[in-house]
Amino acid sequence: MTPTATLEGLQASTGLSQLDQLKKFTRVVADTGDFATLKEYAPEDATTNPSLILKAAIMPEYKHLVEKAIANSRSANIPAAQRVQHTVDYLLVLFGIEILKIVPGRVSTETDANLSFDTEGLVNKAHKFIELYKAAGIPKERVLIKIASTWEGIRAAEVLQKEGINCNLTLLFSLVQAVACAEAGAKLISPFVGRILDWYKKSTGKDYAPAEDPGVVSVKQIYGYYKKFGHGTEVMGASFRNAGEILELAGCDLLTISPSLLGELKKSSAPVARKLSPEIAAKTDMQRLKVDEKNFRWLLNEDAMATEKTAEGIRQFHADAMKLEKFIVEKL
């Protein structure tokens, strides 16, 4: 198949849902902690975060996982001062273990948001997650450690990748973050499409068609840079606001999609054309970006959207982590 045909003419067989068509050229990932959703849409991978785990943990059908996490903390003789944090960590891993019984690929488990500027703390938390998974018979190859795309987070990922622990760099909103992640050897990045759109809509008061969506444009730029300069880091578009954004990124390495949008794609059988391919992206007219710590911090500072959304995302994830801790304290 030629690149031109790939981009302009590739459509799946008549009658296939848009979700099934998309799966022909993009690895579909479910952005949820709800196992029923995973079974319904059959994604290859799954991602979680504190917000999703909190939402799932309070559902009656997952009460047994909460009870198991609490029982583990008690039986392991965890000191009282560390019991809540250990219970939360173990609960995150328990959800990951259950998810891996359903998806054939990998699960992403998120590190604490309040460690986002603590390289050593992030490395230690990743080691703990991997050990908990290992104790359950889950090899590290099936786990992605999610870390915010701060300078310190990227340095932690660099250490972990050299140890063979794969990382998913999340809360990513700019090319400089993406380039730093690739140069650190990160396995995967999660640029947040919808949150970029949110910022621009609020800033400009405009609505954007999917092809002009600033989040879509950002991911296409990152994808093009990676393919042009031979970076092996996988690009996984995330945080979508509508199906149009997803379809504009058809062909991206991976896309992690919420249950509501997975359902929308499954209900439609309209044709899906591939919009991204390595062959076309490799011809992108771009220059290499110099990324050392000084340049990273300066370029990120100069990008108001990326600076604000990274900080906001860290705060939001921390707030939900605190709600999850409070929920555990009440159970303890």
Note whether residue 31 is domain-resident: yes
In whole angstroms, what separates CA 231 from the centre of its chain?
A: 18
Residue 9 pLDDT exceeds 80: no
Residues 177-198: tens digit of each pLDDT: 999 999 999 999 999 999 999 9
Q: Is 322 helix (H, G, I), strand (E, B) or coil?
A: helix
pLDDT of 318 higher than 70? yes
Q: What is the dihedral of CA 120, 122, 124, 127, to 10 degrees?
A: -140
d(CA 94, CA 316): 23
Place of tokens 């609020």: 202
Structural domain contains residue 220:
yes
Task: Tell which residue, 200, 201, 192, has the closest CA to residue 170.
Answer: 192
Rounded mean pLDDT of the chain? 93
Q: What is the pLDDT of residues 251-278, one digit of tens each?
A: 999 999 999 999 999 999 999 999 999 9
Q: 2 or 49: which carries more pLDDT confidence?
A: 49
Lowest-confidence region among 67-76, 109-118, 315-324: 67-76
Exposure string for 241-272, b = 16+ CB within 10 A, e = fewer = bebebbbbbbbbbbbbbbbebbbbbeeeeeeb
* In a domain? residue 285: yes
Closest residue by Cα to residue 56 from 329, 260, 324: 324
pLDDT at residue 49, rounded to an integer: 87
pTM score, two decimals?
A: 0.92
Q: For the domain that residue 40 is a member of, what is the CATH number? A: 3.20.20.70
Predicted confidence (pLDDT) per residue in 55-113, tens digit? 999 999 999 999 999 998 888 778 888 899 999 999 999 999 999 999 999 999 999 99
Residues 14-49: pLDDT tens digits?
Answer: 589 999 999 999 999 999 988 888 999 999 999 988
Q: Please give the residue range of the domain that contains residue 323.
A: 14-331
CA distance 260 to 242: 10
Look up residue 244 and give its two tokens.
Answer: 């149009």
Q: Phi/psi of residue 256, each to 5°?
A: -100, 125
State how far the Cα of 146 lies from the Cα of 286, in Å rounded to an integer: 28
Amino acid at 141: E
Q: Is residue 6 part of a domain?
A: no
Q: Is residue 245 part of a domain?
A: yes
E-strand spans in the chain?
27-31, 45-47, 107-110, 143-148, 167-172, 188-191, 234-237, 254-257
Q: Is residue 97 part of a domain?
A: yes
Distances (CA, A) of 326 to 11, 50, 86, 88, 323: 48, 13, 13, 10, 5
Structural domains in the chain (count): 1
Q: State residue 74's pLDDT score.
A: 84
Query: What residues are labeled active site?
Result: 146
Structure tokens at 148: 């915010």
* 82 inside domain: yes
234-237 and 188-191 as β-strands: parallel, antiparallel, unpaired? Answer: parallel
Percent of the chain with pLDDT over 70: 96
Q: How far apart are CA 304 and CA 37, in angstroms?
A: 36
Say how many C-beta atoms besides its own lie within 10 A of residue 187's C-beta.
Answer: 19
**Is there a domain that residue 308 lies in?**
yes
